[in-house]
Amino acid sequence: MKRSTENSLKRIRTMLVFLASFVLLWYLLCVILNEPMRLSPPHRVMEALAHMSMTMTFWKTILYSTGRILSGCFIGCLLGATLSFAEQDLSLSIFRSFEKYFKALPLLPILLAVSFIALNFSNTIVVLSCIIVSSASMRKTLQTGHQSLSKELLLITKCNSSYWETVYYLRLPHLIPYFSRGLSPAFSKAFAIGLSVEFISRTPVSIGQSLLAAYDSILTEQVFVWVVVAIILSLFIRRLLICIAKYIRFSPRPNADDQYARNGKSFPIVFDKLSKSDGERKILNCFSFVFPCGKVTAICGSEALIKTTILSIAAGISPDDENKFQFPPTASALIFKDPCLVPNLTVRENILLANRAANISKILKALALVKEENKLPADLDFSTQKRVAIARAIAFGGGIGVFDEPFYGMDDDTRALSAAALFGAFRGKTVVFSAVRGEDILRYADEVLEVH
């Protein structure tokens, strides 16, 4: 709190020094030029601003310009968000064709052409130009958000949840902070282009038109007044958006009363002469193996890449080169080496997201997570996060379990507790897990696959 206050005071001091330096430089130029019609001193501009602010026309002009620019900006931000979702193949393919044209849109030439051709629709031109500029800015910001989303977490959520649950519980909470941060740069660009188009198209009742009229009439005080108004208005709204953005959050809460079933029937996993390559390197070459139905198979060996590749194919995450592998008609529970928890949900909510019909109390007790059930993942150590990931897999159930080093980062006692809960919950189901410790293989595996 103290550091935040110091930073705020430092920014205020910097702004005051900058403002004082600017005013002094302004007066100095006035003395040097000594031509009032060319450059009005600051006190005359302030007098003109005070006089103009007493009229309704002044405030009406500001209100109309701000309304046009802000409406175009917010519509554009929503359009940019929609386009960014469409690029992620989230059932919004209807926007795909539009998105292709959007990328190739030569912004400035089209705006200038429309401005000069359709002068009777100058209000629409301003709004349209703000939409185009702000949508491009917001789309770029949200693309960064999409790229920063954990791919493993997205895979788990897609596997464990329906499409809309993935959007509602994972993508929206993750992307809304990016959306709120993108409002400020989007508005800054929209404001600049909006005033430019108002100036070019001579939009009636606008800051741009008032500035042009003052310039044509050689009313230097009014020219400076509108320049100052534009700068202050832009800085004020931008700062207001930044302050509002700090409080924009979205943390949905799963409803534990909703009931839905998962397919718990188990099947064998059959690898029949499968090949997988990574560029020029051959990872699997005509690899064949059957993971027996209802049994636990451990994958061990020194080649981590081969183990990970087999697990990803077995989970249905990545296909083999010839797309021969057929995933069994059932649901699979996944555990990655990284816990991959939804950061904005508590421990309890992370587990319920996998299956709202799960016996949450029993699972929490089995993994000693009762005291942590209302904590966020950021408040937990790595070992506890891994237990939450195991609890989520247990809650999900499914007919197959694919686990990549499920006990990584745990001490012996926590490992024994977690293994008892995990393999007890998946008893009688097909389980594939990678292991680095010989004790885990001897204790829990019915079958062993060694890869080198």
The domains found in the chain, sorted by start residue, are 55-245 (1.10.3720.10), 269-451 (3.40.50.300)
Please report which confidence band the pLDDT of residue 101 belongs to, taking 50, 70 and 90 as the band edges.
low
The rounded mean pLDDT for the chain is 79
Q: pLDDT digit string (tens) for 4-40?
A: 566 667 777 776 776 677 666 655 655 555 554 455 6
More confident residue, 159 or 438: 438
Among 126, 137, 148, 124, smallest CA distance to 241 is for: 137
Residues in the chain: 452
Mean pLDDT along residues 288-313: 87
Q: How many Å separate Cα 263 from the centre of its chain?
A: 31
Q: pLDDT digit string (tens) for 102-112?
A: 554 545 555 55
HSE-CB at 144 with a 13 A cutoff on CA atoms is 11
**Residue 247: predicted pLDDT:** 81
Please report which confidence band the pLDDT of residue 120 belongs to, taking 50, 70 and 90 as the band edges.
low
- Tell me: pLDDT of 242 over 50: yes
The full 3-state SS of 413-436, as one line of letters, equals HHHHHHHHHHHHHCCCCEEEEECC
Between CA 34 and CA 328 the distance in angstroms is: 86
Mean pLDDT along residues 422-448: 87
Among 14-23, 197-206, 420-429, which range has the highest average pLDDT?
Answer: 420-429
Among 225, 240, 214, 202, smallest CA distance to 53 is for: 225
Q: Which residues are CB-neighbours of 202 under 8 A, at least 6 positions away?
A: 119, 122, 209, 212
**Residue 34: predicted pLDDT:** 55
**Residue 261: predicted pLDDT:** 45
Q: Which residues are CB-neighbours of 75 under 8 A, at least 6 positions away?
A: 127, 131
Q: For residues 404 and 435, is the Cβ–Cβ distance under 8 A?
A: no
Angle, CA of 194, 196 and 200, to the nearest 5°: 115
Please report which confidence band the pLDDT of residue 207 belongs to, taking 50, 70 and 90 as the band edges.
confident
Please report which confidence band the pLDDT of residue 170 belongs to, taking 50, 70 and 90 as the band edges.
confident
Which residue's entry shows tokens 């949900």? 345
* 338 CB-contact burial (10 Å; exposed 0-12 / middle 13-18 / buried 19+): middle
More confident residue, 246 or 290: 290
Among 393, 353, 396, 346, smallest CA distance to 370 is for: 346
- Tell me: pLDDT of 259 over 50: no
Q: For residues 333 and 398, is the Cβ–Cβ distance under 8 A?
A: yes
Please report which confidence band the pLDDT of residue 53 belongs to, taking 50, 70 and 90 as the band edges.
confident
Mean pLDDT along residues 434-443: 83
Mean pLDDT along residues 330-348: 87
Which residue's entry shows tokens 């188990």? 266
Lowest mean pLDDT among 96-105, 124-133, 285-294, 421-430: 96-105
Assign residue 263 a region: left if phi > 0, alpha if psi is -120 to 50, beta otherwise?
Answer: beta
Please report which confidence band the pLDDT of residue 387 belongs to, taking 50, 70 and 90 as the band edges.
very high
- Strands in 400-404's sheet, in edge-to-edge order, are 332-335, 400-404, 430-434, 296-301, 447-451
**Residue 390: predicted pLDDT:** 93
Report the predicted TM-score, pTM, of the whole model to 2 decimal places: 0.65
Please report which confidence band the pLDDT of residue 169 belongs to, taking 50, 70 and 90 as the band edges.
confident
**Residue 57: predicted pLDDT:** 84
**Residue 26: predicted pLDDT:** 57
Among 332, 357, 182, 323, smallest CA distance to 264 is for: 332
Q: pLDDT digit string (tens) for 281-298?
A: 888 888 888 898 889 999
Lowest mean pLDDT among 5-9, 72-76, 439-443: 5-9
From residue 136, give the alpha-carbon distance in Å to each of 139, 193, 326.
5, 13, 41
